[in-house]
A and B are shown apart, each in its own frame.
With several copies, the nearest count.
Chain A
């Protein structure tokens, strides 16, 4: 079979062999319900608690501050709705940013329909929020600040420690969606004054459909899923034991030799960026050049549209992603690209290549070669490019 190059690690990742191996015994052998008192049940209980330790450790959290969920979206929904509903007597104001993931944005919009007020902070051309604006947005009614750790499209890393400080000084709960940051950035919830943190396994070579919410000790929020006494009465449902085991292993592995791995990925990323910039004109790097996730590359290519780039890459066996509307049949391109100030036309022509631990230098070089061909070919087909050349219009 033709070689397949996967450069969409920000969308999801392959389950690592070590992770799958760790999970396998929990399907048909150690299948006990962790709530059961017999042997088979306690085997599952022990496995779940081990995973809880593994997650807690990398965050510098306590074991009982970690609650397992079905993924990043559930964690975000739980954190935001849970805090809002629990504190509605105290205040009804939430601060977030314009470039959050939809799991945060749509949750905020939902709350707006139910009597809450939300400030959506602007970001600059690199995708960074302004700390002064954040401070200015705080009112006596502010009950929650939710700002993502790193952006999924453009990779921009926010000044989380500073945000945590501001939240703490103002006695406001601080949630961060760290779904993209986890596994790439060292996170210390204590030092950074993070009260709530969302993460998901499938972005770090773990399985899909499992994640966690870190909830600082003592912080109360409404439950999202009521029912049995699982997760210390805070998140009901028979535990996804095999998934939780996978998350634990994946997060542990992610933080082994992190610096070394990041060094390699950053080397590949920079090589990819340099080669793209050397070989193509009329392009724009989206996101910040240094405050950027190790694996994230995002460019807009003028005069052409993102989906046609993706399809062309796919024909060459390359998997990538785009902030283009056409990917999903929406009229508007990604809210993130618009928020950093891209005109619609240019935002439509964007491409995200996200690198992971399995990518190689050879792949990077191959992708650049193909990408240059594709961009040239599509531009030659584009009326916009031809207008520019001939000076028409």
Chain B
């Protein structure tokens, strides 16, 4: 299998799937054209991420990346969530195949997008968000056919 056991475990049993009716911030990144969309719902109270849910359209590593990312930020402060990098996601998953690393980037970005939404709605400024770049990565290869 190209994926680690950890990835497969999160793919099989993704944590925190769903939506939050009363989300403080919602962020969506990716697009259907590229085959990956992640949507993050955050419920933030007193600077703490009380609850988090996700919806993902995408491959196994996209789903696993979303799932583990929610675990990594749940109960953490907004600052801690801000400092979550895609590398941390990859490491928490015991690695991702090179062509799949962009999924971890999407997870990082989805969280930041949700925090941005929260920041806008609540008027609470979050350090480091302004200069964040939501660009798509494009380190993709060639399609195999057989």
A residues at B contact (CB < 8 Å) = 11-12, 33, 35, 37, 39, 42, 101-102, 152-153, 228-230, 233, 238, 303-308, 311, 315, 324-336, 343-345, 348, 380-386
Contacts and interface: CB of A to CB of B under 8 A. Distances in A.
B1 A39 contact: yes
A33 B38 CA distance: 31
A311 B58 CA distance: 12
A348 B1 contact: no
A385 B39 CA distance: 12
B31 to A, nearest CB: 8
B77 interface: no
A42 B35 CA distance: 23
Contacts of A344: 32-35
Nearest to B14: A381
Measured as residues with beta carbon below 8 angstroms from the partner, the interface class of chain B is 35 or more
B143 A305 contact: no
B1 A325 contact: no
B117 interface: no
Interface of B: 1-3, 8, 11-12, 14, 17, 19, 28, 32-39, 55-60, 62-63, 97-100, 138, 140-146
Contact of A326 (B3, B28, B58, B142): B58
A383 B145 contact: no
Contacts of A386: 19, 55
Given A344-B33, A344-B35, A381 B145 contact: no
Contact of B35 (A228, A233, A348): A348
- Judged by DSSP, the binding face of B is mixed
A308 B59 contact: yes
Given A325-B35, A381-B14, A228 B144 contact: yes
A119 B12 CA distance: 45
Given A152-B145, A229-B144, A42 B1 contact: yes
Contacts of A12: 146
Given A324-B35, A330-B141, A344-B32, A384 B146 contact: no
A305 B145 contact: no
A152 B144 CA distance: 12
A303 B2 contact: no
20 contacts: A33-B146, A228-B145, A233-B142, A305-B36, A307-B59, A311-B8, A311-B11, A325-B35, A326-B59, A328-B141, A328-B144, A330-B142, A330-B143, A333-B143, A343-B32, A344-B35, A345-B33, A381-B14, A381-B17, A385-B57
Contacts of A335: 143, 145
Given A308-B11, A328-B99, 15 more contacts: A11-B146, A35-B144, A42-B2, A228-B146, A229-B144, A305-B57, A325-B143, A326-B35, A326-B58, A328-B143, A344-B34, A345-B35, A381-B63, A383-B39, A384-B37
B39 to A, nearest CB: 4
Nearest to B99: A329
A298 to B, nearest CB: 13
Contacts of B39: 383
Contacts of B36: 305, 326
B140 A331 contact: yes
Nearest to A43: B1
A329 B57 contact: no
Given A229-B143, A335-B143, A384-B32, A329 B60 contact: no
Nearest to A33: B146
B12 A332 contact: no
A153 B28 contact: no
